[in-house]
Structure 1
Amino acid sequence: MMLSKLFLLSLIVLAEQAPVPLLHPVSPMPSFSVVSVRLSKPDEQGTNSGVNQDSYHAERTTMKDVLAYAFGMGYDQELDGGPSWMRNERFDINGKLDPEEAASIKSMSRDDREEKMRLMVQSLLKERFHLTYHFEAREMPVYRLQIAKGGLKCPRDTTSQPAIPDPSKPRFRWSAAPAPPPPPPGWHQPSPTEWKRMMGSLHMHTKGWPWWLIATSLSHQPELAGKPVIDDTGLEGGYECDLQWSQEGSEGTNQYFFQAIQDQMGLKMTPSRGQVEVLVVDSIDHPSEN
């Protein structure tokens, strides 16, 4: 049997998928100096999006995915409202910074640069798509990540540094209860997590990750059916975890997801209900191409 590709899922990719936090705009809102919006060609396949030090690009992407990046959403339940084309039609979007703005961003930390780019994409959505929206706190099904009977099996990574939040700057807002310490900006970036997939089995390794970030990474697995995962461990600091499991219905020989988490990490996923902040799209216009 052919092995599927080894792939690495870095924190940048995770941030683009944007887990639980919602980024609230601040004033004044930064914006791109040049913006291009076009409908994707129907015969093109795959998606590609990302940020550079002087630009943002999203190729063959839905408006739902652009909103997810701009506001830091990781779950379908975190977005409501809007027309059907927002989820079905695909666009090629490019935003370019002016040279002076690009030079100032180069001197920023990666966290601050990422945060500013998200705010600039919010400006793009308002200027070109005339987006209007509001936030609501809604109760919905969640999983709580808790320490299982027998205790935690992931060692503390003493080489990692704790978060040092800066209250003077805008930050991601983690509204799912119980609220963990505020993440970026100002928190020290841990090492990227490594994912391996072969013969129906998955392997995840983290080093120096806080539990809210581990919960976010685990939450994207299909076994959770899109339900948000809330860190309920009560632990602070960075941890090193190693997890191997097989997806149900696959030919993998490892344990299934929920049992693997308990046996290998000393954790459990407890079904529950919790408050999750939802972005509600009040209106959004189909853009004209340029």
Structure 2
Amino acid sequence: MTIARVHTGRMVASIALFAVVGAVSPIFTSAQSPSPAVTPASQSTTAQRSAAKSTALPSTPTFAVASIRPNNSDHTARTHIYSYADHGHFVAINATPMQLLQYAYVLPDSRILGAPAWAKSSKYDIEGKSDTGLAEQLAALPYSGAKTQLLTMVRSLLADRFRLAAHFENRDLPVYNLVITRKGPKFSPVEETSKHIDTTGRAGSVTIDITSSSHAMADLAEILYRYTGRIVVDKTGLQGNYTINLKFAPDDARLALPSTETSSAPDTGPSVFTAVKEQLGLELKSGKGSIEILVIDHIDPPTEN
């Protein structure tokens, strides 16, 4: 697994997705309008900002223009998502619809169910821009408020161009609870630096590196889902900035090893469960939990520009 870079107008953060490096070239445009079919469970002057504050935002803000084109260049390359919330500008490069869903609904892929296979593999370049009036209104908001509005706009784009229909529901699902062992964690808080997450797999071994993350346990839980087959719930209670390193052999690699004692096959390492306990001082305990998930009822390949 590679790492996606999510860029905002004020910060750059790494998230565990797939990702491309490159500039956005001019692409086709079209009008954007409908609101998302999901059931709930430029700088302005001081005068312009004041005027924007006095004007109510639309109940469902949308991009004035949105462009989408397939990216058939390199599907192993990275995805980049550029988010300029206080300008109402959104750019995604080499992104799958699943990655857009993760971004728009702020959910890990383990909590998005029902997406078809093509939505996890087809890549697109996407750009959305708001009109000048909405951009000025967004610029007048605190950045967190502008970001919330931008996420709504991306959801509208998914509903309009991908014909997305979805709903939230709670389900009782088998989970693994990530907890601390009796001896305590084998890592300590670190000084805050640039956050980085990298997961690499080679020669039957997987290495997870999480560097300087204030959400390290949540990041680890989401990555572990990919190798345990269950949603992993962080119940460590650990707060702080951590760097985590974990190396293990995924089950498919271990099962592929010859079973004879005389085999000269290399040792690929411990199972993920053993590695989490021995290397991190944490433990994956089987359980059940009520998990809020986003269920995809319908999604189509995007309409052409």
Is the shorter-chain TM-score for this pair beyond 0.5, marking a shared fold?
A: yes
Aligned to 2:67: 36
Bigger shift: residues 111-120 or 274-283:
111-120
CA contact (8 A) 2:224 2:232 kept: no
Aligned to 1:58: 92
Aligned to 2:258: none
CA distance in 2, matches of 1:71, 1:34: 21
Residue 214 of structure 2, aligned match among 185, 202, 209: 209
Query: How big is the shift at 1:138?
Result: 0.9
CA contact (8 A) 1:16 1:50 kept: no
Aligned residue identity for 2:291 = V
CA distance in 2, matches of 1:229, 1:23: 25
Aligned to 1:45: 74
Residue 264 of structure 1, aligned match among 279, 282, 305: 279
Aligned residue identity for 2:272 = F
CA distance in 1, matches of 2:96, 2:59: 27
Bigger shift: residues 114-123 or 270-279:
114-123
- Residue 220 of structure 1: SS of its match in structure 2? helix
- Residue 64 of structure 1: SS of its match in structure 2? helix
CA distance in 1, matches of 2:83, 2:182: 45
| 1:16-35 alignment, distance < 5 Å | 28-35=59-66
Matching of residue 273 in structure 1 with residue 288 in structure 2: yes
Question: Cα 1:260–1:108, aligned 2, differ >3 Å: closer, same or farther?
Answer: farther
- CA deviations on 1:215-253 (whole Å, 9 max, x unpaired) are 3334324763442211112x2531434323133449687
CA distance in 2, matches of 1:68, 1:52: 14
CA distance in 2, matches of 1:90, 1:195: 21
Aligned to 1:244: 246
* TM-score, with length taken from structure 2: 0.62
Q: Percent identity?
A: 26
CA distance in 1, matches of 2:68, 2:221: 33
Report the aligned-residue RMSD: 4.1
Query: How big is the shift at 1:268?
Result: 0.3
Question: Cα 1:125–1:244, aligned 2, differ >3 Å: closer, same or farther?
Answer: closer
CA distance in 2, matches of 1:198, 1:287: 32
CA contact (8 A) 1:79 1:280 kept: yes
Query: How big is the shift at 1:263?
Result: 2.2
CA contact (8 A) 2:4 2:14 kept: no
- CA deviations on 1:90-135 (whole Å, 9 max, x unpaired) are 4433212334544665677765554433221101122334433221
